[in-house]
Structure 1
Amino acid sequence: MDVIKLLGVREEALSVDEVLAAVTDSRAGGTDLFVGTVRELDENRPVTALEYEAHPMADRELRRVAETVAATIPVRALAAVHRVGHLRIGDIAVIAAASAEHRAEAFTACRKLIDDLKREVPIWKHQSFADGSTEWVGSP
């Protein structure tokens, strides 16, 4: 049984409902969901614009990360989606979710999924600040 239910790197707005529905499983006693949003301050600096860019291999790397989580933690379902393109303050940038028979595994799997996604999947954030400066985050 494939526990990886939904993965993607998308330009369109992300849906919490879609991701939650993807990991819903009647055999799961716990579901954990992480939603990452664009914040107006980063390290006390006002953010005015943000763009995410993804390497063409991002989808493949996202699948590899999810497969690793599924192979190491007993889950019923996993899902993760990341947005690319121009985002505004408050927009959802990433959603990760896991369901498992017990809450501990759901928490652990969701945490590992989002942490490994952010560390290993080649998606880069370009921030513009009110003072006119910019910075790339996560770029090689």
Structure 2
Amino acid sequence: MTTLETRPPLPPFTRDSAIQKVRLAEDGWNARDPQRVSLAYTADSRWRNRAEFVEGREQIVQFLARKWAKELDYRLIKELWAFEGNRIAVRYAYEWHDDSGNWFRSYGNENWEFDENGLMARRFACINDLPIKPEERKFHWPLGRRPDDHPGLSELGL
């Protein structure tokens, strides 16, 4: 017997369910567990991340493992931008440092398309990295999930 994978909330999205989907994605990425994160995507999910093209869960796991090995102390905030049917657009920012202690804030936009089971089938990401000084950091929660009372991007003026 085959178990059908589902990842609620399911499309078509309402404003509330789209906001919930965005927060669940943020929480997953902040856990920095490539295998766990990959399960939110279809087995044949296709990505464009900057200039890199990724296809399927195995490549997603490899991509994320490389990403988080380079982007140390990664902390991410995502915010809903728009939604319709089975698609969601988000904007986000994350802070991280390299192995030399140089800090960055990376800004980006993503377009997501979900299958009927709530798994992301396509992800298109555009990202820019801005070097910042340690005292310019805005994301100071302990590694992992962003606390509910921590400001989001709009509240932080980002």
The structure, 1 or 2, with the larger RCO (C-alpha pairs under 8 Å, 6+ apart) is 1
TM-score tier, shorter chain, comes to 0.3 to 0.5
**Scaled by the length of structure 1, what TM-score is found?**
0.33
**Scaled by the length of structure 2, what TM-score is found?**
0.31
